[in-house]
Every structure is written in structure tokens, then in C-alpha cells.
């Protein structure tokens, strides 16, 4: 799968006579650059397409001047932002950086100043692009895990399971976080409902303290303590496939899958996990017994 190897930069600046020179300088640095003078057109473009970095003119005389930046950040929270201002108070500068801007440049500044700031901001991105380029030389990466029914093992394993998704070009960082959320839910289901045989209903009928006490009791019981969770991950530039199985008795996945199709199910005691899996992953399939789930996420990056 081809991967984009040039950072995309959007410049929204209707005031600076340097904007054309800035665009030319960034293109010479190997970036893909689009330039808009009108703020509304720039925001429309940001809504249509992902940009790694946005360089935008703002007015920091009052809080209203940050609104265009905040709107852009809301549209593309994964994008980096460098803001250009005619003047700014110390309070305005602090507010800007706290709101998530990578940098704030205040007049007078040169094209070189902006380019240097942009290069600093996108340096980690270039590293990721190079890593993705090398990773795509790999035909397949496979990993297998055998973990106990211990909730402290879930987060470290999930971190490893998603760490190469963006480098392989399978999905964006945000989609990677969503995949981690789905995996956490699937592994927790295998642990609590599968290996420890705790029903979804019981989990919501008792208090948190009682639930934790029941987990400890079952983890140490002779019936459940030897049960394990097996996880296999197969990653290629085209997709990632996770197979998660437990030593439990399984469940009626057909009825549950049919039920977990609406947002209302997220609030129910039995539907939240399956709802997340169905709405985050591209494919969800169980074995006949219901103690093994296969999750597939297909490549979405250009």
C-alpha cells in the first residue's frame, strides 16, 4: 500500500505579505502546501482534508481571536497548529499554548522564523513517515500472547498490540486509539465474562468494591485461576487481525451481536462492549462456541 511521504501543510493568512514566500519556502523543504487568504475557506478546506500542520493568522487582542484556531482544532484535533499574530499579551500567549498550539509567532517575524518553527513541529512526523516507509517493506508481523486473568496485564498488552498500526500505514493515530479501546473491551470481556464467568448483569448489579472482591475471589479459586487468554496479532500494510480467545464456556454471540447495533446499547449492561467492537473494527466474528473473537481493522491511510 503506498504511503504519503510528504507532510501536508495548510496556510491560512490573509494579512501577511510573506505568505507566498512562505509557501514557496515550505515547498522547497519537501512539503505539500495549500494557501488560503480567507479564514472561512481555510476552515472549509480543513473540514474536507487532513493536514499535518496548519499555519494560521489569529488576533489575540481578546479571547474571541482564538475562536478560529479553536474551531480548526475541533475539526482536526490530530493536526498541529502554528499561530501568527500581530501582537500578543503574555496572557494571550499562555492561553494559546494551553489551548494546544504548537507555537505562537508574534510580529516581527521572518519567513525563516516560520519555516524553522514548522520544521520543529513536523520533525516527529517526518520520523514517523520514514518509519512507515521502512515498515511497509515487511510483508507480515505476527505476535502471540498468553496472559493470565489479571486486569493489570490488559493495558501493557494493548499498547504493544497497537504500537505499529500508524507505522504500517493501517490507520491514523486517532483510529489507533479507538482500536486500543476496542481491544481493551474485548480482552476485558474475555477475562471477566469468559475466564472468570462473571455475567454482565452481575457487574452492574453490585458495587465496584463488591465487583473487585468477586474478581479477587475467582482469580484465586481452583476453578478459574489457571485459565488464560490467548491473543494473536497479524499485521500487514493492508490490515491488522486480532484473534482473542479465553478458556470460558462461551456465550450466545448471535443474539448479542444482533442486539448491539444502536447507540442505546452502549448504556445497557450487556451491549456496550459489542457496540464498541462493531463500530470501531471493520469486521467482528466469533467462533461457534463463543469464546474466541476475531477483530479486523483494514487500512484506511492514503
In tens, the pLDDT along 245-273 reads 999 988 877 766 665 445 454 444 455 67
Contact indicator for 296, 280 with CB cutoff of 8 Å: no
Note the pLDDT of residue 27.
92
Please determine, for residue 289, whether its predicted confidence score (pLDDT) is greater than 50. Answer: yes
pLDDT tens readout for residues 163-172: 888 877 788 7
Q: How far is CA 58 from CA 27, 165, 245, in A?
A: 23, 35, 52
pLDDT at 169 (0 to 100): 77
CA distance 256 to 80: 41
Strands 53-58 and 80-85: parallel
Q: What is the pLDDT of residue 165?
A: 87
- Give the pLDDT score at 123: 79
CATH topology of domain 141-298: Heat Shock Protein 90 (3.30.565)
Alpha carbon 196 to its chain centroid, in Å, reads 30
Instruction: Indicate the SS3 state at residue 198.
Output: coil
Q: What is the pLDDT of residue 162?
A: 94
- CB pairs under 8 A, 24+ apart, for 176-180? 178/280, 179/240, 179/280, 179/281, 179/297
The pLDDT, as a whole number, for residue 2 is: 36
Fold held by 8-129? Rossmann fold (3.40.50)
pLDDT at 52: 87
pLDDT of residue 3: 39
CA distance 190 to 176: 21
Q: Is the dihedral of CA 102, 78, 10, 85 positive or negative?
A: negative
Domain boundaries, the chain: 8-129, 141-298
Q: Three cell numbers at 5?
A: 511521504
What are the angstrom distances between the C-alpha of 162 and each of 166, 213, 242?
8, 31, 10
Percent of the chain predicted with pLDDT > 90 = 27
What is the C-alpha end-to-end distance of the chain, expressed in Å? 8
Q: Rounded to whole angstroms, how far apart are CA atoms 83 and 106?
A: 9
198-249 tens-digit pLDDT: 887 777 778 888 888 988 899 889 999 899 999 999 998 889 999 999 999 8
Q: Where are the alpha helices (DSSP H) in the chain?
A: 19-28, 39-48, 67-75, 90-98, 111-135, 154-162, 173-189, 200-205, 208-219, 253-259, 272-280
The grid coordinates listed for 147 are 496472559
Which pLDDT score, from 0 to 100, does residue 90 have?
A: 64
Q: Which helix (H) or strand (E) holds 294?
A: strand 292-298
Give the per-residue pLDDT at 251: 81
CB 259 within 8 A of CB 271: yes
Would the pTM of this model clear 0.85, i.e. be above it? no
Range with the lowest mean pLDDT among 34-38, 109-113, 238-242? 34-38
Helix, strand, or coil (residue 299): coil
Across 5-14, 34-43, 135-144, 290-299, the highest mean pLDDT is recorded for 290-299
| d(C-alpha 30, C-alpha 3), whole Å | 15
Cell numbers 479486523 correspond to 296
Identify the bridge partners of residue 84 per DSSP, sorted by sequence position. Answer: 57, 105
Asked if 294 and 241 touch (Cβ cutoff 8 Å), the reply is yes
Q: What three-state secondary structure class fits 149?
A: coil
Helix (H) or strand (E) holding 80: strand 80-85
- Cell, residue 281: 473494527
Amino acid at each position: 500500500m503506498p504511503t504519503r511521504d510528504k507532510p501536508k501543510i495548510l496556510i491560512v493568512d490573509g494579512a501577511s505579505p510573506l505568505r507566498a514566500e512562505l509557501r514557496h519556502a515550505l515547498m522547497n523543504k519537501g512539503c505539500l502546501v495549500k494557501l488560503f487568504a480567507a479564514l472561512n475557506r481555510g476552515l472549509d478546506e480543513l473540514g474536507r482534508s487532513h493536514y499535518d500542520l496548519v499555519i494560521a493568522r489569529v488576533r489575540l487582542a481578546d479571547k474571541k481571536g482564538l475562536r478560529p484556531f479553536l474551531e480548526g482544532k475541533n475539526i482536526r484535533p490530530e493536526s498541529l497548529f502554528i499561530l501568527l499574530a500581530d501582537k500578543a499579551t503574555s496572557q494571550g500567549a499562555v492561553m494559546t499554548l494551553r489551548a494546544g498550539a504548537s507555537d505562537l509567532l508574534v510580529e516581527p517575524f521572518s519567513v525563516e522564523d516560520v519555516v524553522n518553527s514548522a520544521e520543529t513541529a513536523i520533525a516527529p512526523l517526518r520520523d514517523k513517515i520514514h518509519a512507515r516507509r521502512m515498515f511497509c517493506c515487511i510483508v507480515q508481523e505476527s505476535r502471540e500472547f498468553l496472559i493470565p486473568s489479571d486486569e493489570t496485564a490488559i493495558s501493557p498488552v494493548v499498547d504493544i498490540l497497537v504500537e505499529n498500526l500508524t507505522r504500517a500505514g493501517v490507520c491514523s493515530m486517532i483510529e489507533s486509539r479507538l482500536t486500543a479501546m476496542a481491544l481493551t473491551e474485548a480482552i476485558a470481556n474475555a477475562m471477566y465474562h469468559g475466564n472468570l464467568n462473571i455475567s454482565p448483569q452481575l457487574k452492574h448489579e453490585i458495587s465496584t468494591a463488591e465487583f473487585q472482591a468477586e474478581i479477587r475471589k475467582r482469580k484465586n479459586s481452583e476453578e478459574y485461576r489457571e485459565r488464560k487468554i490467548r491473543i494473536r496479532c497479524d499485521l500487514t500494510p493492508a490490515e491488522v487481525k486480532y484473534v482473542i480467545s479465553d478458556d470460558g464456556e462461551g456465550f450466545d454471540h448471535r443474539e448479542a451481536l444482533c442486539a448491539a447495533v444502536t447507540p442505546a446499547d452502549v448504556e445497557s449492561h450487556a451491549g456496550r462492549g459489542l457496540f464498541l467492537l462493531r463500530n470501531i473494527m471493520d469486521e467482528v466474528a466469533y467462533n461457534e462456541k463463543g469464546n474466541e473473537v476475531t477483530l479486523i481493522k483494514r487500512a484506511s491511510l492514503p
